[in-house]
Amino acid sequence: MARWVLANGARTVLEPSFGDGVFLRALAAAGDARVLGAELNPAPFSAAVADGLLRGDDAHGGDFLAWHPPPVDAVIGNPPYVRLRHLPVDQQARALEVAAAAIPEGMQSSGSVWMAFVLHAANALRVGGRMALVLPFELTHVRYARPLWRWLGSAFGALRVVRVHERLFPELLQDVVVLFAEDRGGSTADVGFEALETVASFVSAVPRAASASVSIEALLAGERGFMEALLPRAVHDALLALAPLTVPVRALCSFHIGYVSADKDFFHPDAATCARFSVPEASLVPALTSSRQVQRLRTSTIASETASERRLFLPRSAPNAVLSSADAAYVAHGESLGVHQRYKCRTRQPWFRVPDVRVPDVVLSVFSERPILAINDAGFVATNSLLCGFLKAGTAEALVAAWYTSLTVLGLELQVHALGGGVMVVVPGEAGKVRVVRVAAIPDGHVERLAAALAAGDVAGAYALGDDAILRGVLGVSAETVAAVQEGVRVLARWRDRRGSAVTTD
């Protein structure tokens, strides 16, 4: 990165948060440019100045966003990745100010400070200048970064994102990419993208041309261009061939997060507690409350062994009606425990009525790359350990038949974000974009076979059943196309789940 920022003759380089000075050292090794830098933390700041990594006059000890460095030819660095809401208020306010000055939408406080760093550092660049930054992978897909992509496209003549399979920072759980932006003052409609295997190949390949191109317009529309760019040609062809046979699942079913009770034990009293307070049967709604129950779900909640281990306390009276004496006794018990003072309860009216409790048509597990979709024939309500699905078209059986194929798994890999450790978290907005096949006829016994595979704990087997019975059998998709979809799943899963990948030093 240091070689690249210096390659077009930069004389001044800015490092906005130099920390231990790894980039300052790399710059010194790669040339003799004047280096300007900021660092909030006093100890590394003083150490870098004492070590002569930059001159005291060129160094700002404090918030980079409060500093207006002179114009520079290049920027290099790895800014902090801290959510604005976790910053001290003054730093938070400056980040919002910097973002608002650069982009009309400004920035949401749910966003992270790296975005303000990108804008502020890029604004220090002279026309023609370039910038290389290590940024969190979320840059490539989070909604709050979309205005940044529009801005980058209007501020640089060429943009490139590099993702390396081997971890660039093995000690970080956070997945990162490297953004190379050049020709400040130019503009571009596309971002070059390159996926590399090893850190060594990254170091030697930096000046190489990108192998794929992602349209900024598509990023603004919420497409996952940087994920699609990881897929081999044959998988793209397969997705194109299958597109006419598919719909986004949100056309068939709308997914919502389950309810949040605020106090699991109080709102889901066990049998002994119900007996002690004579909680009326009518005030208890069978509920799915734990991921353990979710793992035991089959294709239907009735078929599962989950039958109402837990029930939600939901007194049936209208919001301001008088409670029955038994309900009132249990509510008083909650107050004696201080449940009514919980944050979520305080904002409810009355505090003991859990909002947004609806019986979904289907439920979907959340923490898995092969989530379980089950028909809610038992009429359970569900907490936010599940997504609740409400049918918009077709039957629940048809949705189940459409869901369990590798095409859905590929759609999840493309659309759904993962936590740092690689665990996928299925959220409604992302899940709704997953494309599933349209199934007009369900083969006899197919749903039962899916249930049997799930009952045996073979979730992957259930999805594979759909590849044979639905993709190949009902829709007549070729074996090559199905194999390409399965290959796409493997490729993206390998990028997502990199916990085992160690850094090699060659």
Ligand X SMILES: C[S@@+](CC[C@H](N)C(=O)[O-])C[C@H]1O[C@@H](n2cnc3c(N)ncnc32)[C@H](O)[C@@H]1O
Nearer to ligand X, 70 or 355 (CB): 70
Candidates 12, 91, 246, 415; binder of ligand X (CB under 6 A) is 91
**What b/e readout covers 116-152, taking b as 16+ CB neighbours within 10 angstroms?**
bbbbbbbbbbeeebbbbbbbbbbbbbbebbbbbbbbb
Helix (H) or strand (E) holding 277: helix 271-277
41 near ligand X (CB under 6 A): yes
Contact (CB, 8 A) for 84 and 107: yes
Cβ closest to ligand X, residue 7 vs residue 168: 168
Nearer to ligand X, 94 or 449 (CB): 94
Chain positions 47 to 86 lying near ligand X, rule: CB under 6 A, are 63-65, 77-78, 80
Q: Give the range of 16-24, 332-340, 413-421, 486-494 binding ligand X by CB under 6 A.
A: 16-24
- Shortest CB 113 distance to ligand X, Å: 7
User: Any idea of the CA torsion for 480, 481, 485, 491, to the nearest 10 degrees?
Assistant: 50
22 binds ligand X (CB under 6 A): yes
Binding of residue 19 to ligand X (CB under 6 A): yes
Residue 425 sits in the site that holds ligand X (CB under 6 A)? no
Name the residue with the smallest CB distance to ligand X. Answer: 19
Of 24 and 294, CB closest to ligand X: 24
Taking CB under 6 A as the rule, does residue 153 contact ligand X?
no
Work out whether strand 59-61 and strand 34-39 pair parallel, antiparallel, or are unpaired.
parallel
Per-position DSSP letters for 343-401, written without gaps between them: HHHHTSSSTTS-SS----SEEEESS-SS--EEE-TT--EEBTTEEEEEESSS-HHHHHH
Which residues within the stretch 394-413 sit at the binding site for ligand X (CB under 6 A)? none
Residues 438-457, one symbol each (x = binds ligand X by CB under 6 A, - = not), give --------------------
**DSSP percent split of the chain into helix, strand, coil, nearest 5:** 40, 20, 40
Q: Smallest distance, Å, CB 59 to ligand X? A: 11
Q: Per CB under 6 A, does 137 bind ligand X?
A: no
Strand partners, 10: none
Q: Which stretch binds ligand X (CB under 6 A): 13-21, 196-204, 285-293, 478-486?
A: 13-21
Q: How many whole angstroms separate alpha carbon 152 and alpha carbon 297? A: 46
Q: Which stretch binds ligand X (CB under 6 A): 15-23, 232-240, 423-431, 491-499?
A: 15-23
In the three-class reduction of DSSP (H, G, I as helix; E, B as strand; rest coil), residue 213 is classed as strand
Q: How many other C-beta atoms can be found within 10 angstroms of the C-beta atom of residue 315?
A: 21
Site for ligand X, rule CB under 6 A: 17-20, 22-23, 38-41, 44, 63-65, 77-78, 80, 91
